[in-house]
Structure 1
Amino acid sequence: MADNKKRIRFRSIAILEAVIILILAVGLVWVGFIKGRKDAVPANSSNKPQVRRRAVIDKEEAFYQLDGKKLLMHDSTYGEIFVPIYGDVPASDLDLSGLTMRNGYAYYEENGEIISTTGVDVSEFQGAIDWEQVKQADIDFAFIRVGYRTYGDGIITYDNEFQRNIEGAQKAGIKVGAYFYSQATNADEAVEEADAMIDALAPYDISLPVVYDWEIVHTDSARTDDVSVEALADCCVAFCERIKDSGYTPMVYQNTGTAMHKLDLPRIKDYDFWLAEYGDSPSYYYDFKIWQYTNTGHVPGIEGDVDLNIWFRPEK
C-alpha cells in the first residue's frame, strides 16, 4: 500500500511537471509569433528605411541526376572530359540548326522566321558612340556598363560613359539594359554593387534586365582569386534579389568555363542567364537567353572592337 501511494505521488509530480513545461513552451511560441509579426516588413513596404530588402540566402542541397547522362567538354590538359548533368537545372531547348551567321551578325530562326534580335554591350572602353549610326546598323538592344569594382582595392566606380551611353541609346530608339562588373568577395559587397546600380538607374526607364557580371581576372592577381564556390553563388543571389526587389529583372552573365566549373548552377537557376562563349555556335548545355558570340565585332558608330550578342527569343 505504501509503495502504491509513493508511485501515485511520483506520477502526480511527473504530470504536474509535464503540464508546466507545456505551458512554458506554448508561451514561448506565442511570444515569438507576436514579436515576429510586429518586426516583419513586407518586401514592398512603403516605409523608407526598409525599401531594399536583404536577400535570403538559400543553400538547400541540390543533386546530380543519377541516370548516367554525361556532358562532354574539352579541357586543355585532359582533352575530352565529362561531367554529370544537373537534373534540376533546365537544359537549353534551342534548335541550333536554326542559327546562322551573316555579315558578322548571328540570327536565329524558328518555323522559317527570324525571331532573334542583335545587340551590343558597351563601356567607356568604346569611347564616344554615335548611337544613331548604331541603330541604323540594325542593332536592337544595348547593355550599358553602369560601373565596376576594382579588382585590387575593391572600390566601386561608375563608368565614365554611362550617362552618355544610356541617354544616347534610348534617344536613338534602342532598347537598353545595364550591367555591373563585379569583383565582390561576399554577399554584402554584392548588395553594395546592386545598390550602386539602383541609384544610378533611378532617373531612367530600363526595359531590359539588370545584369550581374562577375569575372575571374586572368591577367593579374585579384582580390577575387580565392572566392569559393559558395561565396560566388551567395553574391549572385544577393545581387539579383536586391535588383528584383527594386522592380528590375535580374540576369547573370558568365562564360561557359566559369559557369560549368565555378558557378553553383542549381542556386541561380531561377535567374535568366547571359552566356559568353566565342565561336560560330554555343556548346553550353543549360538554358540561356542571350549569347555573346564575339568580342571583336564591328558596328558603324562604334570605333574599334565591340561585343556582339544575340537574343534568341526576345520578349515582345
Structure 2
Amino acid sequence: MADNKRRIRFKSIALLEAVIILILIVLLVWAAFIRGRNEAVPANAGSQKAEVRRRAVIEKEETFYQLDGKKILMNDSTYGEVFVPVYEDVPASTIDLDELTMRNGYAYYKENGEVTSTTGVDVSEFQGEIDWEQVKQAGIDFAFIRVGYRTYGDGIVTYDSAFQHNIEGALDAGIKVGAYFYSQATTADEAVEEADAVIDALADYKITYPVVYDWEIVHDAARTDNVSVEALADCCVAFCERVKDSGYTPMIYQNTGTAMRKLDLPRIKDYDFWLAEYADKPSFYYDFKIWQYSNTGRVPGIKGDVDLNICFRPYNGKVKETTTKTD
C-alpha cells in the first residue's frame, strides 16, 4: 500500500513538473514574439507610409579560386611583384581600356564610337562653399554628397555640416545625386546604425545614383585598424541590405589595394562597386561601375582639389519615391 501511495505521489509530481515546463515554454515563445516586435525599427518616422527596416541575414558562403592557373599580378612594397589567384565566382570587368580617353582633365568611355559614360564629383564639407550652377556648366553630370561619417577615435556618428547645402544645391542645378557615408564601423550593428542615419537624412531628396558604403583603413590609432576580414564583410552586407530595403541602390567604395587584400569579394559581389585608383587606366580585375581616377581634379565652381569620377553605367532608372520635394 505504501508503495502504491509513493508511486501515485511520484506520478503527481512528474505531471506537475510537465505542466510547469509547458507553461514556461509558452511564456518564452510569447516573450520572444513581443521582443521581436519591439526591436523593429521604423524606416522614416515622419513618413505617412509605415515601413519596417529589416536586419540582413549574414550568411557565410563557400567560394573557389580558378583552377586554370589564372592569376592577378600586383606590386607590394615588401615583396615587389606578387600574385593572387582569380575568384571564379566574382564577375570580371568588361571595360575595354582602349576605349578610355582623357580630354580637358575628364575621363570618357566610348562604345561603338559613342560616349556612354557620365562625369561626376564627390564632395564633403572639405570643399567649402560650392557654386553648383558653375559645376553643372562645367560638364558635371552627377555628384556624390557625403551624408556623414563615424569618428575613427570614439566612434560617434556625425552628419556632414555641408550635406544639406550640397545636396540641395546640386539638385537645384540639375545634377543627379548619389550619397555616401564614411564608415568606421566595427560590427554589423554599427553599420546598420550608419545606414539608418543616411536613410533618414535622404528621405526628402530625389536620389538617382547609389547610396555608398565608404569604409577605409586609417592607420592612425583608429578603431577599425584591427577589424577582421569577416567583420568587414558583415558590415558591408548589413549596410547595403539596409539601404536596398529602403529603395536605394547600394554600392561599396574602396581602393584597389584594400579591395584585393581586405574585402571578401565573393561575399559582396552582388553589390555595385566604386573603385578608387589614381592612374591613367584602372588595373582592378573585377567588375566596377564607377572609377574615381583623381583626387586632384579641378572643376569651376569648386575651390581647390576635388575627386573626379567616371560612371560607366549611368543610373537613370528607379528612384526612391519621396514625400516632399526641395524648392
Computed over aligned residues only, the root mean square deviation of the Cα atoms, in angstroms, reads 2.4
Secondary structure of the 2:53 match is: coil
Match of 1:24 in 2: none
Secondary structure of the 2:230 match is: helix
Mapped partners of 1:122, 1:213: distance in 2: 13
Per-residue CA distance 1:262-302 (angstroms, 9 max, x = gap): 00000000000000000100000000000000000000000
Mapped partners of 2:298, 2:167: distance in 1: 20
- What aligned pairs does 1:1-316 form with structure 2 within 5 A after superposition? 51-218=52-219, 220-316=220-316
State the one-letter code of the partner of 1:257: G
Per-residue CA distance 1:143-180 (angstroms, 9 max, x = gap): 00000000000000000000000000000000000000
Mapped partners of 1:178, 1:70: distance in 2: 34
Structure 2: runs of 5+ lacking an equivalent: 1-25, 317-327
Deviation, structure 1 residue 47 = 12
Identity of aligned residues (%): 80
The alignment covers a number of residue pairs equal to: 281
Structure 1: runs of 5+ lacking an equivalent: 1-30
Secondary structure of the 1:108 match is: strand
Mapped partners of 1:222, 1:137: distance in 2: 37
Deviation, structure 1 residue 77 = 1.4
Runs of 4+ displaced beyond 4 Å: 38-50
Deviation, structure 1 residue 120 = 0.1
Deviation, structure 1 residue 48 = 8.5
Per-residue CA distance 1:215-254 (angstroms, 9 max, x = gap): 0003x11000000000000000000000000111100000
Cα 1:48/1:191, change in 2 over 3 Å: farther
Mapped partners of 1:203, 1:47: distance in 2: 13
Deviation, structure 1 residue 315 = 3.5
Question: Does the 8 Å CA contact 1:43/1:245 hold for their aligned counterparts?
Answer: no
Mapped partners of 1:55, 1:43: distance in 2: 13
Mapped partners of 1:78, 1:263: distance in 2: 21
Mapped partners of 1:239, 1:120: distance in 2: 23
Mapped partners of 1:150, 1:186: distance in 2: 15
Residues 48-57 or 277-286, more deviating: 48-57
TM-score by length of 2: 0.82
Question: Does the 8 Å CA contact 2:58/2:238 hold for their aligned counterparts?
Answer: yes
Mapped partners of 2:49, 2:194: distance in 1: 20
Cα 1:304/1:192, change in 2 over 3 Å: same
